[in-house]
Structure 1
């Protein structure tokens, strides 16, 4: 498929030429906490077709947003990982998450949900209560950790932290309530007073 462009001499237009296709930013969201296999991406993006997933991965690799590498015995497994250019999109995801959080409202019966999709708003909620540190977050079977620093930067990563300052265990409904702003983190967990 030829590379499409808005053909506007504008920074926003050029950025959208690279990441503006449907599913692209959600793929970047999936990769923002660490490398993923194709099957993991497919499983965590309900509604995407295999053709579209393969096309978006190829486009994002061509544009320098992610890399594809074979790993493991006989290089049979392929991992996708963000490049520094892809990682630099984190503030864009954060801004979209801040803007979109009030739109969450009530969860519809047709809405897919994955606990790790809550990492951005949960990370913001955690950062409001700790000036810096690392917090392991468990939501059901999903485990990730949030790192906040004194400069106000917040990131999330797959798996538990090696030496967390705090542990946060939430069920999915409580995590959704905290992420959507319906429940303060202090009411959901101890250690965040």
Structure 2
């Protein structure tokens, strides 16, 4: 159930934790960093949290001004959750926490990895050559499509179909994460069927390599 616990501490750190420090709260924020999501999307991205837990965190974050609900116009008619302007100010904090946490040991046993988590890592770690021609990629991770654009030495990510794409890739988050760590594995992943790719494969290889071999 929603909680109203407080550290009763005037320090800004404690007050921030009063707002977004409950278990799963910052992971809900993480999942909203790339755009609005439906409840079912959040639930699937956070399989270790029960439906009630995700609902509680959303209600708390909404009550505290971090998250807002919005009804999509017909024909979609779905309810989505998105970060408020104040909630978006958590982005550099969450990303910095993620960078710090990469040095922590991996949890034991089976682990999960959401599409948003992998794409945030790609966006932050990729350093394509500033002189390389811009490229647009259609990236499908499980049942969601994302537009990834490489341009002017940086990478942007947004949900939804691109108007046009130079290359397309379909896989799962764990496989994409493995390719970001070892781009030379793309051919083997294609041969095994774990990855489907079409279009300009050299541009796609360049995107993957830009994480492990960033342009100087």
How far off is 1:160 after superposition? 3.9
Q: Distance in 1 between matches of 2:140 and 2:162?
A: 15
Q: Which has the larger radius of gyration?
A: 2
Structure 2, unpaired ranges of 5+: 187-203, 210-216
- In the TM superposition, residue 174 of structure 1 has moved relative to its aligned partner by 4.6
Deviates more, 1:66-75 or 1:31-40: 66-75
Which of 140, 144, 147 aligns to 1:145? It is 147
Question: TM-score by structure 1 length?
Answer: 0.75
Structure 1 unaligned blocks of 5 or more: none
- The CA deviation at 1:122 is 1.1
Q: CA RMSD in A?
A: 3.4
2:86 match: 85
Any residues of structure 2 matched to 1:57-68 within 5 Å, and which? 57-68=58-69
| 1:88–1:110 distance in 2 versus 1, CA, 3 Å | same
Contact 1:122 1:175 in 2 (8 A): no
Structure 1 residues 19, 167: CA separation in 2 closer, same or farther (over 3 Å shift)?
farther
Q: CA contact under 8 A between 1:134 and 1:145: conserved in structure 2?
A: no
Distance in 2, Cα, partners of 1:44 & 1:87 = 19
Shift in alpha-carbon separation, 1:69–1:143, aligned structure 2, 3 A:
closer
Structure 2 counterpart SS, 1:122: helix
Aligned positions of 1:34-73 closer than 5 A: 34-73=35-74
Q: TM-score, normalised by structure 2?
A: 0.68
